[in-house]
A and B are shown apart, each in its own frame.
Chain A
């Protein structure tokens, strides 16, 4: 009897009338105790593969030929009752948005009780003890409190650890993890991966870890399977695939993870210039009452003309409050914000400044592209809305300007006929940028603008922003929790921690020699990922990185690969 998960020549397609193939002949295997990374850009069919294993494909998708077996059990032909025993029993699952995967009405403890009762027949006191043990295994110091907590009381990282406890409750032999850390920052991501790896070693668990981020898994995976367009493109030991990728799609993925190579050439140093946005001692407080920490506390910061300023901070550090203050949707409680935005070079031609509308010089690009458009409006109407407020524009002029802006972000104007739901996240994020550009801003604030995108798309959007920065002399504020994005983009880095500005330094200085305790933690967490530490600006850290990287994954080879010019 074959052990572990074996998928052979799996075909999935969208049911008629669309009848489009989703997977065409996917084959992969996960042996007991093996950590397999399934990597691919979004839309490559990774998630569908996992759902097919669980027998939970959406109704519009049907399985064609092929087979899936787990320890000899044929999963495609199993009965409903058999599948119910397998799900949560022999197969555990982790999801991308852990907080949405818990019933908001139920405590974490009651979620744990379900698989304990269904798959191990435990009830009452026994079940409770097991539940606490599982939560402790998932890295919680106070399992009893977590068991009583409701999902909305947990942070994203805590929710994912709780989900791991739920997934392990049925003592599975296979863990399917569908991008479980894509929504988390690097420190939490590392923590979750270590927990999963820990369970793998203790229980001989087979792990199929789905991700678009090669850097994430390189430290843990035994084997890597690269998927694109519903097919397995490349498959092999992690060392081989990461070190010497054979296919173009594997190379593209790898390149997207190494966000550091073209950085200097792309951005260049801003010349001597003046401050166009300046915050002086700005404090903003939302929560009232004793002991409430202000969202921003006495922050003084300036943006120079033509500069890309990176603002780094974890969730809750006040990054988004800063963005809201800068675009004037919130007013500071104390302190002042000076805006001297009229352009010094006084350009007034078509591609330049001079829309002359006050209040539009600073524009914002949001994190969730799907939330930034009215779902009931066609994209053209969404883009036209801000222009309509400027009376001087005729309908033809508006159309021309919109088409120009859309071409500027490397899209076809033809797609403006669509609704937001018919576009990918990357396309919509380009359109958000196009919409911001229509008002001809001097400053563009990108608030986690690429965090919701997969690595390949993220790379393309970042490069687009760099080009716009160069061509239009656009000043950018890149707000992110992602060290790689900040390093790739910024001239200077500002670090926010609990509402306070704790560090402000040039990018190279910052990554080579962070000063504040929190900055050191952030830089250290980023270094823990081999690709992340391979920045030209941080070459002095190579030895440290090689030392830290676990022997399992050919860290040094990877470093050579990403640091060598034009490999």
Chain B
């Protein structure tokens, strides 16, 4: 297990470093001179003195070799200094942290709702395999999995915010404002989870050890509770962690539509305003978190599955 852990951690570090290097390169490959952008963000007026550009380049160490610059940037980034935003002229870190909190709460709520729906519907479908309930649940989840969020979100806003006026149409204040974004965002993972739970449950129900459990005298419900459901839900843990990582980046559309001040929104603004430090900070944090979660998913799977856990012991 320790070896397994060490290997996964090494892979994680490499992935984050690779991502950060790509992000670091953004200013070098985007059109426009970043130095001029920095000066323009700090002084009023259009005229920029060439000597000021030279001086700032030297001061920023832009004449150094690329890798020295990268290491310096990485070092600062690691110590929490993500630079100054061009647009707001405040430290990027001060914007990223609250945004991260908002996005994390949105994603966690989404996953919780999706998993709850999926566990109930997936188990119900599997235990009624082939009957009307199963067919209905399967059909609905198949339909929702293909429903685009940028269409569904305005539709829900139209009905619940504009027609019925029961929920706010945008913003991030109070629990009611979370209902529509979570509902929209949870729909696709819930559909995906439901089919995964259904499949996992059917596999678990068909396993021969279930027959053996009945043969030991366990009642049907006892068998389902102890031998079928825990085994059947195992695939959900990995799937949820993968979706967690995906939703961190995938919530951009929802955050923009519902004007939620989260990471997606921050990234969107940073890119739109060519605010390179802001975009860099947001991307590295999201990517780092996503990689971390994927690794966590593998670990959780390993811990829950003795065949994986003991193989790496």
CB–CB A95/B307 < 8 A: no
Q: B218 interface residue, CB < 8 Å from A? A: yes
Q: Which residues of B contact A102 (CB under 8 A)?
A: 209, 212
Contact with A along B200-239 (1 / 0, CB 8 A): 0000000111011111111110000001001100100000
Q: A85 interface residue, CB < 8 Å from B? A: yes
Question: How far does the Cβ of A84 sit from chain B's closest Cβ, in whole Å?
Answer: 5
Q: Which of A49-91 contact B (CB under 8 A)?
A: 54, 56, 80-81, 84-89
Q: Which residue of B lies closest to A85 (CB)?
A: B217
Q: A93 interface residue, CB < 8 Å from B? A: yes
Q: Which of A80-114 contact B (CB under 8 A)?
A: 80-81, 84-89, 93, 95, 97, 100-105, 111, 114
Question: How far does the Cβ of B235 sit from chain A's closest Cβ, in whole Å?
Answer: 13
Known A-B contacts A85-B217, A93-B215, A100-B209; A150 and B231 likewise in contact (beta carbons under 8 Å): no
Q: B310 interface residue, CB < 8 Å from A? A: yes
Q: A4 interface residue, CB < 8 Å from B? A: no
CB–CB B307/A104 < 8 A: yes
A319 vs B169: C-alpha distance in the bound complex, in angstroms?
A: 69
Q: A115 interface residue, CB < 8 Å from B? A: yes
Question: How far does the Cβ of B218 sit from chain A's closest Cβ, in whole Å?
Answer: 6
Q: Which residue of A lies closest to B208 (CB)?
A: A100
Known A-B contacts A54-B215, A84-B219, A87-B214; A152 and B306 likewise in contact (beta carbons under 8 Å): yes
Q: A473 interface residue, CB < 8 Å from B? A: no
Q: Which of A190-214 contact B (CB under 8 A)?
A: none
Contact with A along B153-174 (1 / 0, CB 8 A): 0000000000000000000000
A89 vs B217: C-alpha distance in the bound complex, in angstroms?
A: 7
Q: B105 interface residue, CB < 8 Å from A? A: no
CB–CB A84/B307 < 8 A: no
Interface-centre pick from A81, A86, A102 (highest chain B CB count, 10 A): A102
Known A-B contacts A93-B212, A150-B306; A118 and B227 likewise in contact (beta carbons under 8 Å): no
Question: How far does the Cβ of A55 sit from chain B's closest Cβ, in whole Å?
Answer: 9
CB–CB B213/A80 < 8 A: no
CB–CB B218/A118 < 8 A: yes
CB–CB A101/B209 < 8 A: yes
Q: B63 interface residue, CB < 8 Å from A? A: no
Q: B305 interface residue, CB < 8 Å from A? A: yes
Q: A166 interface residue, CB < 8 Å from B? A: yes
A80 vs B221: C-alpha distance in the bound complex, in angstroms?
A: 12
Known A-B contacts A97-B208, A100-B208, A150-B306; A105 and B213 likewise in contact (beta carbons under 8 Å): no
CB–CB A114/B231 < 8 A: no
Q: Which residues of A contact B217 (CB under 8 A)?
A: 84-89, 114-115, 118-119, 170
A111 vs B234: C-alpha distance in the bound complex, in angstroms?
A: 19
Question: How far does the Cβ of B129 sit from chain A's closest Cβ, in whole Å?
Answer: 11
Which of these, B207, B209, B216, contacts A115 with CB under 8 Å? B216
Known A-B contacts A84-B219, A114-B218; A150 and B307 likewise in contact (beta carbons under 8 Å): yes
Question: How far does the Cβ of B2 sit from chain A's closest Cβ, in whole Å?
Answer: 16
CB–CB A103/B306 < 8 A: no
A191 vs B75: C-alpha distance in the bound complex, in angstroms?
A: 66
Q: Which residues of A contact B234 (CB under 8 A)?
A: 105
Q: Which residues of B contact A89 (CB under 8 A)?
A: 217
Q: Which residues of B contact A394 (CB under 8 A)?
A: none
CB–CB B306/A104 < 8 A: yes
Question: How far does the Cβ of A65 sit from chain B's closest Cβ, in whole Å?
Answer: 25
CB–CB B306/A166 < 8 A: no
Total contacting residues, chain B, CB less than 8 A: 22
A56 vs B214: C-alpha distance in the bound complex, in angstroms?
A: 8
Interface-centre pick from B207, B215, B219, B227 (highest chain A CB count, 10 A): B215
Q: A153 interface residue, CB < 8 Å from B? A: yes
Q: Which residues of B contact A169 (CB under 8 A)?
A: 216
CB–CB B216/A114 < 8 A: yes
Q: Which residue of A lies closest to B306 (CB)?
A: A150
A100 vs B204: C-alpha distance in the bound complex, in angstroms?
A: 12
Q: Which residue of B lies closest to A169 (CB)?
A: B216
CB–CB B207/A100 < 8 A: yes
Question: How far does the Cβ of A152 sit from chain B's closest Cβ, in whole Å?
Answer: 5
Contact with A along B246-282 (1 / 0, CB 8 A): 0000000000000000000000000000000000000
CB–CB A105/B306 < 8 A: yes
A163 vs B216: C-alpha distance in the bound complex, in angstroms?
A: 11
Q: Which residues of B contact A85 (CB under 8 A)?
A: 217
Q: Which residues of B contact A88 (CB under 8 A)?
A: 215-218
Q: Which residue of A lies closest to B218 (CB)?
A: A114
A172 vs B167: C-alpha distance in the bound complex, in angstroms?
A: 63
Which of these, B213, B220, B304, B305, contacts A114 with CB under 8 Å? B213
A444 vs B170: C-alpha distance in the bound complex, in angstroms?
A: 72
Q: Which residues of B contact A114 (CB under 8 A)?
A: 213, 216-218
A100 vs B305: C-alpha distance in the bound complex, in angstroms?
A: 16
Interface-centre pick from B207, B209, B211, B214 (highest chain A CB count, 10 A): B209
Question: How far does the Cβ of A53 sit from chain B's closest Cβ, in whole Å?
Answer: 11
Known A-B contacts A100-B208, A105-B306; A118 and B216 likewise in contact (beta carbons under 8 Å): yes
Question: How far does the Cβ of B237 sit from chain A's closest Cβ, in whole Å?
Answer: 13
Q: Which residue of B lies closest to A90 (CB)?
A: B217
Interface-centre pick from A54, A101, A119, A150 (highest chain B CB count, 10 A): A101
CB–CB B207/A87 < 8 A: no
Q: Which of B286-313 contact A (CB under 8 A)?
A: 304-307, 310
A101 vs B209: C-alpha distance in the bound complex, in angstroms?
A: 4
Q: Which residues of B contact A150 (CB under 8 A)?
A: 306-307, 310
A236 vs B215: C-alpha distance in the bound complex, in angstroms?
A: 29
Known A-B contacts A56-B211, A103-B231, A105-B231; A87 and B310 likewise in contact (beta carbons under 8 Å): no
Known A-B contacts A84-B217, A85-B217, A115-B217; A101 and B310 likewise in contact (beta carbons under 8 Å): no
Q: Which residue of A lies closest to B204 (CB)?
A: A103
A86 vs B218: C-alpha distance in the bound complex, in angstroms?
A: 10
CB–CB A95/B214 < 8 A: no
Q: Which residue of B lies closest to A97 (CB)?
A: B208
Interface-centre pick from B217, B231, B305, B306 (highest chain A CB count, 10 A): B217
A119 vs B215: C-alpha distance in the bound complex, in angstroms?
A: 12
Q: Which residues of A contact B306 (CB under 8 A)?
A: 104-105, 150, 152
Q: Which of A127-154 contact B (CB under 8 A)?
A: 150, 152-153
Q: A88-B218, A102-B209, A118-B216 are in contact. List 17 more A-B contacts (CB 8 A).
A: A54-B214, A56-B214, A80-B220, A84-B217, A86-B217, A87-B217, A88-B215, A100-B209, A101-B208, A104-B209, A105-B231, A105-B234, A114-B216, A114-B218, A118-B218, A119-B217, A150-B306
Some 8 contacts from A to B, beta carbons below 8 A apart, are A80-B219, A89-B217, A103-B209, A105-B231, A105-B234, A115-B216, A152-B307, A152-B310
8 pairs of A and B residues whose beta carbons are closest in the complex: A88-B217, A88-B216, A101-B212, A87-B217, A150-B306, A93-B215, A100-B208, A103-B209
- Contact residues of A with B, CB < 8 Å? 54, 56, 80-81, 84-89, 93, 95, 97, 100-105, 111, 114-115, 118-119, 150, 152-153, 163, 166, 169-170
- Contact residues of B with A, CB < 8 Å? 207-209, 211-220, 227, 230-231, 234, 304-307, 310
